[in-house]
Structure 1
């Protein structure tokens, strides 16, 4: 999300370096970006991300609804005409503060087409206007809506995964923790793309990859956590920082880790914590990749491979024996 590129970053994949530079150049049209009102920064971020969300797979159908008791806006992507589709709920990143269904439109269409699932994108409330746990409550409410009313919309209530990038990875894990805490069953699978799991920032990757050439900085993550949390009382809350949680009982989880990312080490730590609790974990590390690298899929074979590997895994979790499971 940075607006300048300070160095060459020789350890970056060349296509990801190009992505970084082009995004930085687009933000560079607004030299006062950091001093602008948040609403204007959000508008600019949408503009900068728009070219990267364009193109990609066409959908059989797309619709937008407001669902559940919290009236959460969702966008449903259907890759084909099947009457009952397995579901990936997708939670976009942006530090709980930025981005939208539109910035992540292509990413959601890629998963729908590659995995053969309906993707339900969640337009959760952003911080700092909406503090923890409102966004989490909204996501859990969409889970419950899908389980009760999903079948009426052609969405299989027995085959639901959840995934997200960055803050969305955090919220995806936390939603399953919240379900377990309430005595409900977790979802079928979790897909984590370079998630944020620990507000302490006490990992070597925060020093090694802290810089605008690597997209996300330590300072930015500090601002994002401050925006999201209500105050000191939330800093040890397991549903805010899932690395502090009891994770036994979570469903199989896939981690896509960008090696050149301040969050890389906490994703490894989160995966280790799940493994130690007996949770099936699949972990893939992408050398040369930065935070947000999946958005570069239009120019990056590395991003294409990462999406393909995650989609294959997802198909194995919720799409096997479609005919029998959709009865």
Structure 2
């Protein structure tokens, strides 16, 4: 049992596409002492280029950036950021602004001044944009803001109100896990509804173990951490209204397969080629269309195209 062997809760390891030994090694290199715990995960720490800081989608799993980091090459340091709430004990952040401020502190501990290179995927798009805004307010330069496949939430969007019960939340969280992993969890609202909250979590845990999204006999805290983090991320997106007037350049990477906001989290998707980002930026938005969909753009073979376009 890896967790016992290394004395840490690998809340990210083996999540999504079953982690390879190489990916597990990335996670095991992270410091185990909770006092020195950092949201920074060094996926590829070597090289002379300025580091690229990448923010993952809802739930904070960073392992799926592994292939992108590899294709960017050995001279490109690549760091991802993860939330502390994945341990199932720490409270999740309540807003995109809070997540961004927390991650900024972390990246500035590694790189005290700009220019900064930021990227985000899915939920991480909103966080990366907010980090760039906060950096500019501090007088720092953002040399790259790369947004992977998410439309803008415009200030005109009304914050969404949800009255979902636990079963509805868990069903939708399962859909998000399916979207990010490409696996089928076979979870329905009807199955979850009659169960107690703990039984619902256990059912999700069993389904995740069945399709290798979690190692066998994972602790319930791990599942609780993933669920609470995704729920907090989604609520944060719904209440986040980004400020217009960003002064840097935005580079949007849209996938060739049409983006589907199946859960209706974003409200209306802007139809212009920049997906609404031009309304938030004072500079023209660079739009790149890359092969794949929201999930597969970061997997082989499509990730190679993304990496080529992204090379700093």
Asked if these proteins are the same fold (TM beyond 0.5), I'd say yes
Residue 130 (structure 1) aligned with residue 130 (structure 2): no
Q: 1:274 to 1:186 in 2, by over 3 A?
A: farther
Residue 168 (structure 1) aligned with residue 141 (structure 2): no
Counterpart-to-counterpart distance in 1, 2:307 and 2:247: 26
What is residue 32 of structure 1 aligned with on the other side?
none
Query: What displacement does 1:167 show?
Result: 0.9
Residue 279 (structure 1) aligned with residue 283 (structure 2): yes
- Among 62, 70, 84, the alignment partner of 1:101 is 62
Counterpart-to-counterpart distance in 1, 2:258 and 2:129: 22
Query: What displacement does 1:166 show?
Result: 0.4
Residue 191 (structure 1) aligned with residue 146 (structure 2): yes
What is residue 76 of structure 2 aligned with on the other side?
117
Question: Normalized against structure 1, the TM-score is what?
Answer: 0.53
Counterpart-to-counterpart distance in 1, 2:271 and 2:159: 14
What is residue 227 of structure 1 aligned with on the other side?
232
Counterpart-to-counterpart distance in 1, 2:71 and 2:158: 33
What is residue 91 of structure 1 aligned with on the other side?
55
Q: Do the aligned partners of 1:191 and 1:254 also contact (CA within 8 Å) in 2?
A: yes
What is residue 49 of structure 1 aligned with on the other side?
16
Query: What displacement does 1:53 show?
Result: 6.2
Residue 179 (structure 1) aligned with residue 138 (structure 2): no
Q: Deviations over 1:133-187 (max 9, x none)?
A: 4322211212432342xxxxxxxx444201021011111111112233x443242
Q: Do the aligned partners of 2:144 and 2:250 also contact (CA within 8 Å) in 1?
A: yes
Higher strand proportion, which one? 1
Q: Do the aligned partners of 1:53 and 1:106 also contact (CA within 8 Å) in 2?
A: no
Q: Do the aligned partners of 1:88 and 1:120 also contact (CA within 8 Å) in 2?
A: yes
The number of equivalent residue pairs is 229
Q: 1:48 to 1:143 in 2, by over 3 A?
A: closer
Q: Do the aligned partners of 1:170 and 1:196 also contact (CA within 8 Å) in 2?
A: no
What is residue 76 of structure 1 aligned with on the other side?
42
Query: What displacement does 1:261 show?
Result: 2.0
Give the secondary structure class of the aligned counterpart of 1:89: strand
Counterpart-to-counterpart distance in 1, 2:306 and 2:13: 24
Query: What displacement does 1:259 show?
Result: 2.9
Query: What displacement does 1:305 show?
Result: 1.9
Q: CA RMSD in A?
A: 4.7
Gaps of 5+ in 2: 1-9, 161-174, 181-227
What does 1:4-15 correspond to in 2, within 5 Å?
none
Q: Do the aligned partners of 1:179 and 1:186 also contact (CA within 8 Å) in 2?
A: yes
Counterpart-to-counterpart distance in 2, 1:122 and 1:248: 22
Counterpart-to-counterpart distance in 2, 1:184 and 1:92: 25
What is residue 295 of structure 1 aligned with on the other side?
298
What is residue 247 of structure 1 aligned with on the other side?
245
Question: Normalized against structure 2, the TM-score is what?
Answer: 0.55
